[in-house]
Structure 1
Amino acid sequence: MKKVKYYMVLLTAAVFAMSSVSSQRLILPGDFPDPSIIKIGDTYWASATTSNWMPAYPILKSADMVHWTTEGYIFNKLPDWADYYFWAPEITYENGKVYVYYAAHKKGGNLCLGIATADKPEGPYKDLGPMMCEAAGSIDAFPMRDENGKLYLIWKEDGNSVKQPTPIWAMEMKEDRTGLIGEKHELFRNKVAWEENLVEGVSMMKHGGYFYAFYAAAGCCGVGCNYIVGIARSKNLLGPWEKDPANPVLKNNEQWICPGHGTPIEKDGRYYFLHHAYDKKTNAFTGRQGLLSEFRFTPDGWVKFVNVPEPIAKTAPIIDEFTDRSLSVNWQWSVFQKDIKYKVKKGQLQLNAANVSAGAFLGQKIYTGDFTATANLVKKGSKSAAGIAAIGDDKNTLSLLYVKDSVQLVKLKDDTTTVLASMPVKPKQQVSFKMQSSGGRYYTFSFATDGGAFTTINSKPIDGLFLPPWDRAVRAGLVSKGSGKAKFESFQMMSE
């Protein structure tokens, strides 16, 4: 896969400057939940949740914490022990080694904490396997040394999944990171009304004699989210911990909602929290995006966020004409499509068809709710259908597909297929597809054959409310369904 930079068209010259004005800026547009950040030498590195998209966990690089390059992924194939829900990678560095702590669903079990390591942040990474697997599930790992230098792992027991409280645990970890030792110690749990049924996503830093825990509470995801951030502190890692009387300290504002789950970091004597939040207008459709929020330590030893939301920069067009030897890192596929086959050759993407409801699909993050995506199909098999799609997951898509002698608008909802519209076309045509989105929710599709004018197939936009899974966002992408192969010569996505 080739590297991709996230270029921005700036709305004003000062939008992304690290100015003296306290600000809250979007630095990772698109679906980047649970972001983690670390500085190694003069370079910043970050990662984020991919859930059920592969490859898992992007490796992001920046010289200034604002402009990022995707270098690759932690896992290009699944670890042997895990099958889905790749959540909350925490990227860390110590003594010349990079360690990524993460959560994933264990085959035949529940959510567990795993760890992967590399000699450099670009990888390659070696998986060390699971370290903690509680019956209710274990997620959101964060390593921390106590006041005496002893290494601990901090995590959340996923009690809310079984209608139980959610304790935050600490347990000593071996220096080689191959396992946990001793007894686990509870630091705190959800006991305050605003935290509702959970606390999670704990990350820590030391400052002025205190350990500070940044944590999230309430509901993380979807259109009904109410996520929010609190602070707790302690003189000793194992406690006693006290929660800030001013909690919650990071809330909704006029631009961003449901903020939470991130990592604090210092830069040039100032303090920032890289976390996710939903765009208030597009919510779950564009996903939980990566924000950098500034905070300060108050005279009484607490944390105060001091943010003025900045204008959102317009993203540059994505143009892929498949001229490289490998697939761009922008593309991802379902973690459940283990046998997906594709090839990039001579300016074409060849995507082998899959005889499943959604077909074989490759998707890209959408960065704004209003966008137009186009794709050119040059060839497909006689027993296949191929085209463009808005993708939620393996059971929920909206696709415009070229079948044998027609173009069909197909809705897949809860794994049930409905053909919403169909228009006849001649066999063996070259077909161009266009998908227009409003707010990431409403979709209009059109097509053209052999370079002709576009014809709209649905006069009334289709409501895609059903598309985004509870923990993910909509992707725009390409589909190859049935048997045989489809060959595409371009894909473009333009924000409006």
Structure 2
Amino acid sequence: MPRILSNNVVNSKAASLFLLLALSFPVFCLAVAEHQSGFRYEAPGRNTLIPTNREDSSRRKENPVIPGDLADPSVIRKGDVYYATGTSSEWAPHFPLFQSRDLLHWRQIGYVFSQTPAWASASFWAPELFYWKGTYYVYYVARKKSDGISCIGVATSKDPAKGFTDRGILLEFGKEAIDPFVIAEDGRLYMTWKAYGLDERPIELLVARLSDDGLKVDSAHYTLLRDDEKKGLEGQCLVRRNGYYYLFYSVGNCCGRGCSYEVEVAQSASLLGPYTKFPGNPVFSETADWKCTGHGTIVTSKEGKDFYLYHAYSKTDDVYTGRQGMLGELRWDAQTGWPRIRPLGEKAGTIKNFRDDFSKTALSYAWQWDFRNSAPRVKIEKGNLSLSGLPGVGNRTGTVLTVRPLDGDYEISTEVANHNASLKGLVLYGDAGQSVGVGVKNDTVQVWEVKKGERSVLQESVIPRGEHLQLKMKVEKGYQCRFYWSKDGNTWNPLKTGEVYYNGEFLPPWDRSPRPGLMHQGAVAAPADFSYFEMRYR
């Protein structure tokens, strides 16, 4: 009987459902690629925003193993080491890459791409990791520069920690090809994907054979499953157990406040189908604390157990922390053969605070930026981060460096040198047209917002020019903001915006969480100089 190669076990990814109007956004791939080629990142350590401590708690709950926004996660095992990645959407560098030895404790080791692939313009979704004949692969989704159509690309590496080399577009299929998943069968490679999501016809999950090197489609395509019920169909992965193929897939709305994701499964005696849906579907849906579960990958542990790495929204913090990386265990019914997914009951973990003193010569892996709307220029020297950049047309926010929030309640602070006419400070960033922050400019400190592309100053105070100033933002529930400034870091002066809290409910884009960080708006020759950035969770 055919079998699946054990080291490749299963994967899946994707985030789509809505058509991003990618062509309406300015694209700066060449500028960013040129800029990124000069970036260096520090070795993984405490500044990677991944908690490493666990504390005792009498209340048991399923806790994210990779907290923060990491939609459509993919995982593989090679020997004793697990690798995981997930959607990065419009953030660069693209596709954060994590490593673990137990599936529970992860550290970031870099990114799949430090430079934007030459053919791609936006929407970096659903990367799928795979290992085959001594080479690591990542099959991923991005929009083509020429027409904005989502295609499936492929990249390879001999060592994931050293990044991947892009091999270009593998598949362009109609109006959209997304959510690749690759499986090895009888010594051959097959790729499944989602098709017709933007057509006036039912969505289908398709499959085709790949070339032996995994870089070309080598056969006609076949239909695995069709969405005749029109409830959504994507984020698939395959595994073979007990003589049958099990096709796991997500149904419903993937993203945002109105999400409805859950996981179903279908069974077939043949890889190419036909597939019969489980009469007890869904096999996995919301829990007491998490909602919109789905788009995951199955991996077999060193001990022979099957686990499902998937994403879900916290019911507490919702869209403000995004779709987080969760782990569940597959349980196979001994009588019927059908699976169920049981979320892990790990004890609640301690989220570690993040501080960057810019004491190293390279940028921490924690930082990302909106590559479509700015090309950051960064210099780190003697405990100082110098930030400027080239904002795109229509960018009313400026250049930002951001980090992933791991919880909805936190405060961020920094010290900035007030020695030029640029606006520089802290930001909570949805995208270039939706943001809020506190910053220093000339002899004023101001709270500002960009809402629906329109920029306005909400509050400002006069301060002495020519000295360092400390700034702070307190955030509750992911969107309720308060703003402060201080000369010495001890006495904090509030900048009130008319309400107890500034309401940032409008900030989240449809597919990702808002992110806190540092910002600069002004001339490249007048950069923002920061001596530290700290993020403390409450």
Which category of TM-score, normalised to the shorter sequence, fits these structures?
over 0.9
The equivalent position to 2:242 in structure 1, one of 199, 208, 219, is 208
Partner Cα separation in structure 2 for residue 304 and residue 160 of structure 1:
27
Q: Does 1:173 align with 2:210?
A: yes
Find the counterpart in structure 2 of residue 57 from structure 1.
95
Find the counterpart in structure 1 of residue 342 from structure 2.
306
Q: Does 1:288 align with 2:288?
A: no
CA shift for structure 1 position 452: 5.5
Name the SS of the counterpart of 2:218 in structure 1.
strand
TM-score by length of structure 1 reads 0.94
Find the counterpart in structure 1 of residue 426 from structure 2.
388
> Unaligned regions of 5+ residues in structure 2, if any?
1-40
Find the counterpart in structure 2 of residue 238 from structure 1.
272
Cα pair 2:77 2:300 within 8 Å, conserved: no
Q: What letter corresponds to residue 404 of structure 2 in structure 1?
A: K
Cα pair 1:380 1:386 within 8 Å, conserved: no
Q: What letter corresponds to residue 474 of structure 1 in structure 2?
A: P
Q: Which has the higher strand share?
A: 1
The equivalent position to 2:157 in structure 1, one of 91, 114, 118, is 118
Partner Cα separation in structure 2 for residue 46 and residue 328 of structure 1:
19
1:477-492 mapped onto 2 (5 Å cutoff): 477-483=517-523, 484-492=526-534
Name the SS of the counterpart of 1:98 in structure 2.
strand
CA shift for structure 1 position 45: 0.6
CA shift for structure 1 position 278: 0.3
Find the counterpart in structure 1 of residue 516 from structure 2.
476
1:237-386 mapped onto 2 (5 Å cutoff): 237-267=271-301, 268-298=303-333, 299-307=335-343, 309-337=345-373, 339-354=375-390, 356-382=395-421, 384-386=422-424
Cα pair 1:429 1:450 within 8 Å, conserved: no
Find the counterpart in structure 2 of residue 19 from structure 1.
none
Cα pair 2:265 2:278 within 8 Å, conserved: yes
Q: What letter corresponds to residue 173 of structure 1 in structure 2?
A: L
Partner Cα separation in structure 1 for residue 419 and residue 369 of structure 2:
20
Q: Following TM superposition, where does structure 1 have runs of at least 4 consecutive aligned residues deviating by more than 2 angstroms?
A: 7-11, 13-16, 159-164, 306-312, 353-356, 378-382, 449-452
Partner Cα separation in structure 1 for residue 70 and residue 419 of structure 2:
33
- Given the superposition, is the C-alpha separation of residues 198 and 375 from structure 1 closer, same or farther in structure 2, using an over 3 Å criterion? same
Find the counterpart in structure 2 of residue 453 from structure 1.
491
Q: Decide which moves more: 305-314 or 205-214.
A: 305-314
Find the counterpart in structure 1 of residue 7 from structure 2.
none
Cα pair 2:428 2:515 within 8 Å, conserved: yes
Name the SS of the counterpart of 2:187 in structure 1.
coil
Partner Cα separation in structure 1 for residue 78 and residue 169 of structure 2:
25
Partner Cα separation in structure 2 for residue 256 and residue 437 of structure 1:
21
> Unaligned regions of 5+ residues in structure 1, if any?
17-22
The equivalent position to 2:504 in structure 1, one of 455, 464, 467, is 464
Q: Decide which moves more: 308-317 or 24-33.
A: 308-317
Find the counterpart in structure 2 of residue 217 from structure 1.
251
CA shift for structure 1 position 379: 4.2
Q: Does 1:494 align with 2:494?
A: no
- Given the superposition, is the C-alpha separation of residues 341 and 90 from structure 1 closer, same or farther in structure 2, using an over 3 Å criterion? same
TM-score by length of structure 2 reads 0.87
Q: Summarize deviations over 1:55-82 as a string: whole Å, max 9, x none.
A: 0011101111111111110111110100
Cα pair 1:166 1:197 within 8 Å, conserved: no
Name the SS of the counterpart of 2:162 in structure 1.
coil
Cα pair 1:395 1:413 within 8 Å, conserved: yes
Find the counterpart in structure 2 of residue 48 from structure 1.
86
Find the counterpart in structure 2 of residue 406 from structure 1.
444
Find the counterpart in structure 1 of residue 13 from structure 2.
none
> Which has the bigger relative contact order, CA under 8 A and spacing at least 6?
2
Partner Cα separation in structure 2 for residue 25 and residue 285 of structure 1:
17
**Aligned residue-pair number:** 484
Partner Cα separation in structure 2 for residue 35 and residue 399 of structure 1:
31
Find the counterpart in structure 1 of residue 465 from structure 2.
427
Q: Summarize deviations over 1:162-219 as a string: whole Å, max 9, x none.
A: 4532100001111112210221101002234xxx442101111111111111111110
Cα pair 2:425 2:437 within 8 Å, conserved: yes
Find the counterpart in structure 1 of residue 175 from structure 2.
136
Q: Summarize deviations over 1:217-243 as a string: whole Å, max 9, x none.
A: 110111111111111121111101111
CA shift for structure 1 position 316: 0.8
What is the alpha-carbon root mean square deviation over aligned residues?
1.8
Q: State percent identity of aligned pairs.
A: 32
Partner Cα separation in structure 1 for residue 353 and residue 178 of structure 2:
36
Q: Summarize deviations over 1:302-347 as a string: whole Å, max 9, x none.
A: 1112336545323111011000110100000112145311011100
Q: Decide which moves more: 422-431 or 480-489.
A: 422-431
Name the SS of the counterpart of 1:372 in structure 2.
strand
Q: What letter corresponds to residue 472 of structure 1 in structure 2?
A: R
Name the SS of the counterpart of 2:348 in structure 1.
coil
- Given the superposition, is the C-alpha separation of residues 451 and 439 from structure 1 closer, same or farther in structure 2, using an over 3 Å criterion? closer
